[in-house]
Amino acid sequence: MTIESFKELTLEQKIKELKYSGELLGSYERNSENNGPKTPGDIFALYDFWVYLSDDEETVIPTRRNPIPPVEED
């Protein structure tokens, strides 16, 4: 699946795809528009892109770059 085809799915289909094919990478707080409070959620790796899913499962945002910075090892 491509990011473009994922964007065309309904909200229910997106959540189902994340639950069955996504890999949970961790918690993430997404910045909101207009300097509002951050929105808590999770980041999933899905095929060759990443997806933010809010805790209330109302917001699903795919992206081509991983918003979680890599962990640096000493």
CA 18 to chain centre: 9
Supply the pLDDT for residue 18: 95
At which residue do the structure tokens 């805790």 appear?
55
Stretch among 7-11, 15-19, 26-30, 65-69 having the lowest mean pLDDT: 65-69
pTM given for the model: 0.85
What CA–CA distance (Å, rounded) separates 4 from 69? 24
* CA angle (70 as vertex; 19, 74 as ends), nearest 5: 135
pLDDT-derived band at 71 (thresholds 50, 70, 90) equals low
pLDDT-derived band at 50 (thresholds 50, 70, 90) equals very high
